[in-house]
């Protein structure tokens, strides 16, 4: 599941329960949540979103979102990478959870920083192993689309649209590369 939540506001220290301050620590350059009681600094860092481009012949599998944000819009299967897994394992897990689909994963295809929401999105190339798929709890429907049928105006996230664009361009060229880039304001993610 892709969500666009910013880093949470911390009110209390998770180590000692004292109220936390939000200021630049000595020797640092950015404001942090820090505890004047126990000394703990609570760093916040970007999150990885991992997913894939599941392909069957000349069609790509998309999921229509059953959750906000972008309820009803189409996305590639993707979600927050979890502890104790690799990026590839996360992409496989999200594809199974959201689309009920099993894929054979290829190489990473896109890596896109989205600093506005403190995320980096990584999509892998993937081949569906069969035509067994079904919407998970976070999807309204799951379907295969040819290039001419892609609902470009109803794509949920810019990283998904850009990944699909690269994929069709690379297919036309006959060679799939790796594409890195940044999604920067002002347009929404």
- Beta-carbon count within 10 A of 18 CB: 13
User: Pick from 90, 95, 1: which is nearest to 56 by CA?
Assistant: 95
Residues 170-189 that bind its own copies (CB under 8 A): 178, 180, 182, 184
Q: Is the peptide bond before 69 cis (omega within 30 degrees of 0)?
A: yes
Report the distance separating Cα 59 and Cα 123, nearest Å.
Answer: 17
Smaller CB distance to its own copies: residue 55 or 122?
A: 122
Closest distance to its own copies from the beta carbon of 113 (Å): 4
Report the distance separating Cα 30 and Cα 12, nearest Å.
Answer: 19
Q: Using CB under 8 A as the criterion, what x/- string covers residues 23-62 for binding its own copies?
A: ----x--x-----------xxxxxxx--------------
Instruction: Please check whether residue 105 is in contact with residue 78, taking contact to mean a CB–CB distance below 8 angstroms.
Output: no
Among 57, 68, 83, 130, binds its own copies (CB under 8 A): 83
Q: Which residues bind its own copies (CB under 8 A)?
A: 7-8, 10-17, 20, 27, 30, 42-48, 80-89, 107-108, 111, 113, 115, 118, 120, 122, 137, 178, 180, 182, 184
């Amino acid at each position: 599941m892709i969500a666009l939540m910013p880093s949470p506001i911390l009110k209390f220290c998770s180590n000692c329960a004292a109220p936390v301050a939000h200021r630049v620590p000595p020797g640092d350059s950015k404001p942090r949540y820090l505890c004047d009681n126990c000394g703990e600094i609570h760093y916040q860092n970007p999150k990885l979103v991992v997913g894939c481009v599941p392909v069957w012949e000349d069609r790509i599998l998309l999921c229509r979102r059953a959750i906000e944000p972008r309820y009803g819009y189409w996305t590639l299967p993707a979600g927050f990478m979890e502890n104790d897994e690799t990026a590839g394992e996360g992409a496989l897990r999200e594809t199974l959870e959201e689309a009920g689909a099993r894929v054979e994963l290829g190489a990473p295809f896109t890596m896109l920083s989205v600093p506005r929401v403190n995320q980096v999105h990584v999509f892998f190339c993937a081949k569906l192993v069969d035509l067994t798929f079904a919407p998970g709890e976070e999807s309204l429907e799951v379907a295969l689309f040819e290039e001419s049928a892609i609902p470009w105006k109803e794509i949920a996230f810019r990283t998904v649209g850009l990944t699909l664009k690269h994929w069709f361009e690379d297919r036309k060229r006959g060679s799939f590369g790796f594409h890195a880039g940044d999604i920067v304001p002002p347009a929404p993610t």
